[in-house]
Structure 1
């Protein structure tokens, strides 16, 4: 690949490591931030002309009490630890966005998005911007304490962000701006529980599963979403879970699901998002170096992020979506 001289305008980015794996029963994702740094993320972004500040890693917070109903609390693994992370990440996300930075949250398991997206949503509400979230994931992460089969809180992230009442005590003293119906789109979905599916449908979440990608390819649904977001003038938060990729390409994840996206499908998603000019914040989650094969998954994630920030195959002006 060569870097395009006609790529996106330089962005003021901040890398913030979130070394947590409390949201899952599989340890190892806490090593993800280091692996992404070693794979050269900051250097690639600088080569593309972006300003990069590495703010280091958040320290593990103290567990925080959560006023959940006893039955719900019993079905949430590491509840108080996740609550501590959620509140700390929320505060940092809100501050970074308010300072005009483009935050890149280096995970860590997907429960970190409870804090990152809620902090970004709070900023968007204060700034009068509409927020759209693209959840790039094999899973819907829309379980609740009542429906979860695993008790893993990384599988409840979107439900919390959409305003699930039983999970709201995770952020008891901070203004929460729940994601509105239609604000969330999931792409790459191929594993969803029965009750979770009902939750997704009830919330009006737009889902592009792997069957749709098999039938239509990536470009058509991505183009439709981007045109809708551009029409609405959204702040786009992308939450990139490594398990969206086929595990033959990216084995370093604790919740592998066969039949994921190919190398080119994943890069095309990133390239089209870059062309849109909408990206405002980013999660990179669920990388588990302990389960990886000589850094393959970390290197691929860094390559995908480079595509998201303007690395192209040919030196050509970006293909913009329809203007409104």
Structure 2
């Protein structure tokens, strides 16, 4: 039985969202199938979860057009996030742990907005861990690309078009103090100022280099209790591209395999994981599905894969 079994549902639901409509490169739309081919269902089942694969959501195709008033494909991004919001909300309401298989990181809007609404309704606290090479705190004024996968955290904090900021019916969906960003190493100058103005807590790669992943995770997870829902939004470009080449926006100098494993194992040790995004996997840029296999390996650690030194958490 999974060590999370006393604090999180044993039933998990996979929700595929095969779109790259919010990204600047094509290919993340193939991510859900690559994760399935890499054995994510068998891996989770092995760790005591009852896995329900809900298949893939449907939505508009990627029109691949330039930005309009600062946003690329806004209508399509909204449609996909509405579908994700509804699907994640349904799984949470049924007591399942939703696992979003992306797709680009703009989909984190719908996923986290659904989790935030669920926590408000249940009177639970929410902590979001944003594992990423990028802060994703851009606005249309700060980025010329208009790619919404660089904006989801800002939109969740209330900065952006109403169609996205009010996805859960209440804005902002998140307060900055609810988010911890880990592994950040690529931030635009204007975005950097905005992050500081809003007081986001960021454990960037310099912090990890200076203090180590263990200390960074201890700080990021501090204050969790039995009333806290922990959401992990795992952008695969969080990882160093030497070990995870299959992403559209590689940034050198990310966490090593062991650092990433420690990150995931410490999250698992809390017993608070309640929902998960796996996004930005781009099989078109991968090598023999290497990145998808690594992502599944790390997700196993989120759900209790352990070395000999780790003892199962006692039942409560």
Q: TM-score range by the shorter chain?
A: over 0.9
Moved more, 128-137 or 217-226: 217-226
1:233-312 equivalence runs, <5 A: 233-312=227-306
Asked whether the equivalents of residues 7 and 311 of structure 1 are also in contact (C-alpha less than 8 Å), the reply is no
Asked whether the equivalents of residues 244 and 291 of structure 2 are also in contact (C-alpha less than 8 Å), the reply is yes
| Structure 1 position 213 matched with structure 2 position 208 | yes
Shift of 1:6: 7.3
Q: Distance in 2 between matches of 1:225 and 1:319?
A: 20
Shift of 1:318: 4.4
Q: Distance in 1 between matches of 2:167 and 2:223?
A: 34
Q: Distance in 1 between matches of 2:154 and 2:272?
A: 24
Q: Tell me what 1:128 maps to.
A: 123
SS in 1 for 2:183: strand
Shift of 1:172: 5.6
Shift of 1:32: 0.2
List alignment gaps of at least 5 residues for structure 2: none
1:1-324 equivalence runs, <5 A: 7-9=3-5, 11-61=10-60, 73-164=68-159, 166-170=160-164, 174-177=168-171, 178-230=173-225, 233-314=227-308, 316-318=310-312
Q: Distance in 1 between matches of 2:241 and 2:183?
A: 13
Q: Distance in 2 between matches of 1:296 and 1:264?
A: 16
Asked whether the equivalents of residues 61 and 88 of structure 1 are also in contact (C-alpha less than 8 Å), the reply is no
Q: Tell me what 1:69 maps to.
A: none
Cα deviations by residue, 1:280-308 (Å, 9 ceiling, x for unpaired): 10000000000000010000000000000
Shift of 1:130: 1.3
**How many aligned residue pairs are there?**
306
Q: Distance in 2 between matches of 1:140 and 1:295?
A: 26
Cα pair distance change 1:107/1:125, threshold 3 Å: same
Cα pair distance change 1:127/1:214, threshold 3 Å: same
Asked whether the equivalents of residues 7 and 317 of structure 1 are also in contact (C-alpha less than 8 Å), the reply is no
